[in-house]
A and B are shown apart, each in its own frame.
Chain A
Amino acid sequence: MESPDAFETHMAQIIWDNRWKNPHALQIWVENFMDRPGAAVFALEHCVFADHFPRWFGSIVANCPHLKARQYMIENMYVEEVEDPTITTGHYESLVDFAVALGHDREAVYAHKGAIYTRMALAYWERASRAWPWLEGFAAVCGLEAARGPAVAKIGRVNKLRRSIWEPLGLPPESLLHWSAGEEADFHEGGHGDMTLKILAEYADTEEKQARILEVIEETTQVRWYHFDCIGRDALKASGISLEAAGAA
């Protein structure tokens, strides 16, 4: 069995290998073809994801017998659903503001259920949080935040969806508030990305649990990569870029 520190490093490496080693189409689009039509595709799909993400914590909390772990998850839900200290309008609403600034109708954003690949990815995470033991659900869902945590970022190149990448779109500053909040919550030491690995390292206390968590971390990261790749392909199309020209075919 690995020590907690070694296990954190191992998880970070698996996340990096499956999330950042090979760029997906969204990353290619962000780095080379960023424009409003493509951003509008991303915003619409990401709103669906953001609307569901905190609810998965509800199921994991329900299955978790450890108060300390539940406190962390409820705090995370609270920031996303009740009061985000860095945004007055709320975490999800600030993302909808971003989509509206890109030209979407607010009601259409609320009503959009996601492209079929988004719905499938949501089912993956919802099933993980409802049907699996809490630690595995936690790895599947919170592992997503870990992809931008410091332990992963120090391994190699990481594409952080921070405020600065959207600035070339020339949107009003208030429509980018969501991205400042994400930066504040996830990226730093002690942030959501960092804490995910620490909690997993604390509660995966047998060799079998560690092995299973590594499997889940690998799979959920592959699902996220695949989801971003699908969004990126649609963003490239919206930007008028062929997949071949983008190197994403």
Chain B
Amino acid sequence: MYSRDDFEERMAETIWENRWRNHTAYETFIKHHMCIEGAKVYAMEHAVFANHFPRWFGSMVANCPHLKARQYMIENMYVEEVTDPEVENGHYESLVDYGVALGLDREAIYNYKGAIYTRICIAYWDRATRSWPWTEGFAAVAGLEAARSPAVLKRGNCVPNNRSVFRSLGLPEEALAHWSAAEQADYSSGGHGDMTLKVLSEYCTTEAEQERILEVLAETMQVRSYHFDQIGRDALKAAGAPLDAVA
């Protein structure tokens, strides 16, 4: 069985291997073909994801017997759903503002249910949090935030999805508030990405539990990479860019 520190390193390695070793079509899009039309595709799909993400924490909280872990999850939900200290009008709403600034209709964003690949991904995370033991659901969902944690980022080849990525679109500064908030919440030491690994290393206290968490992290990262790849392909199409580079 790994020590806590070693297990955190092992988790970070697993996340990196499955999320950042090979870039998806989305990273190709943001690095080489960023434009309004492609950004709209991403905004629509990401708004669906962001609308569901905090709700998965509800299932995990329901399944978790440890107050300290529940406090962390509820704090995370609170920031996303009630008051985000970095965004005046709320975490999800700030993302919708970004979509509207790109030219999307606000009501259309609210009503959109996602491309079929987004719906399948959402089902994956919803199922994980409802059906699996809380640590496994937590790894599947909070693990997504860990992909941008310092322990993962230090391995290189990561492409942060932060405010600077979208700056070239020339949108008003207030339309990018969502991305500043995400940067603040996830990327730093002690942020959501970092805390995910710390919570997992605290509560996975047997070899079997650690092995299972590594399996879940590998799988959820593959799902996330697949999701970003599909979004990226649609964004590249919308941008009129060739798919050859990502085929």
The interface of chain A, by Cβ under 8 A from chain B, is 116-117, 119-121, 123-124, 126-128, 130-131, 219, 222-223, 225-226, 243, 249
Are B222 and A223 neighbours in the complex by a CB distance under 8 Å?
no
Please tell me if B154 contacts chain A, counting CB pairs below 8 Å: no
Contact of B130 among A116, A124, A131 (CB under 8 A): A131
Q: List 29 A-B contacts (CB under 8 A).
A: A116-B223, A119-B219, A120-B120, A120-B121, A120-B124, A120-B223, A121-B120, A123-B120, A123-B123, A123-B124, A123-B127, A123-B128, A124-B119, A124-B123, A124-B124, A126-B127, A127-B127, A127-B131, A128-B123, A130-B127, A130-B130, A131-B126, A131-B127, A219-B116, A222-B116, A223-B120, A225-B116, A226-B116, A243-B247
Are B120 and A124 neighbours in the complex by a CB distance under 8 Å?
yes
Taking the closest CB of chain A, its distance from the CB of B16, in whole angstroms, is 17
8 new A-B pairs (CB below 8 Å) besides A119-B124, A223-B116?
A123-B128, A126-B131, A127-B124, A127-B126, A131-B127, A131-B130, A223-B119, A226-B117
Question: Which 5 pairs of residues, A with B, have the shortest CB-CB distance?
Answer: A124-B123, A123-B124, A127-B127, A123-B127, A116-B222
User: A-facing mask of B105-132, CB < 8 A → 1, else 0?
Assistant: 0000000000011011101101110110
Q: Hey, which chain B residues are within 8 Å of A120, CB to CB?
A: 120-121, 123-124, 223, 226
Q: Which residue in chain B gives the minimum CB-CB distance to A243? A: B247
Interface size class of B (residues with CB under 8 A): 10 to 19
Are B116 and A130 neighbours in the complex by a CB distance under 8 Å?
no
Taking the closest CB of chain A, its distance from the CB of B112, in whole angstroms, is 14
Chain B, interface SS category: helix
Taking the closest CB of chain A, its distance from the CB of B129, in whole angstroms, is 10
Give the complex CA separation of A123 and B247 in angstroms: 26
Taking the closest CB of chain A, its distance from the CB of B217, in whole angstroms, is 14
Chain A, interface SS category: helix
Q: Which residue in chain A gives the minimum CB-CB distance to B219? A: A119
Q: Hey, which chain B residues are within 8 Å of A124, CB to CB?
A: 119-120, 123-124, 127
Contact of B120 among A130, A131, A226, A249 (CB under 8 A): A226
Taking the closest CB of chain A, its distance from the CB of B172, in whole angstroms, is 36
Give the complex CA separation of A9 and B119 in angstroms: 26
Taking the closest CB of chain B, its distance from the CB of A24, in whole angstroms, is 12
Give the complex CA separation of A94 and B12 in angstroms: 41
Give the complex CA separation of A128 and B127 in angstroms: 9
Are B226 and A116 neighbours in the complex by a CB distance under 8 Å?
yes
Q: Which residue in chain B gives the minimum CB-CB distance to A128? A: B123
Q: Which residue in chain A gives the minimum CB-CB distance to B225? A: A116
Taking the closest CB of chain B, its distance from the CB of A220, in whole angstroms, is 10
Residue in A119, A121, A124, A226 with the greatest tally of chain B CB atoms within 10 Å: A124
Give the complex CA separation of A222 and B119 in angstroms: 10
Q: Hey, which chain B residues are within 8 Å of A226, CB to CB?
A: 116-117, 120
Q: Hey, which chain B residues are within 8 Å of A223, CB to CB?
A: 116, 119-120
Query: Which B residues, 218 to 247, have Cβ-Cβ distances below 8 Å to chain A?
Result: 219, 222-223, 226, 243, 247
Taking the closest CB of chain B, its distance from the CB of A74, in whole angstroms, is 21
Using A127-B123, A223-B116 as known contacts, say yes or no to A117 and B128 having CB atoms under 8 A apart: no
Q: Hey, which chain A residues are within 8 Å of B130, CB to CB?
A: 127, 130-131
Q: Which residue in chain A gives the minimum CB-CB distance to B128? A: A123
Give the complex CA separation of A225 and B116 in angstroms: 10
Residue in A121, A123, A243 with the greatest tally of chain B CB atoms within 10 Å: A123
Q: Which residue in chain B gives the minimum CB-CB distance to A221? A: B116
Q: Which residue in chain B gives the minimum CB-CB distance to A224? A: B116
Are B219 and A116 neighbours in the complex by a CB distance under 8 Å?
yes
Q: Hey, which chain B residues are within 8 Å of A225, CB to CB?
A: 116
Give the complex CA separation of A209 and B116 in angstroms: 22
Q: Which residue in chain B gives the minimum CB-CB distance to A119? A: B219
Q: Hey, which chain A residues are within 8 Å of B123, CB to CB?
A: 120, 123-124, 127-128
Give the complex CA separation of A213 and B126 in angstroms: 20
Give the complex CA separation of A119 and B116 in angstroms: 15
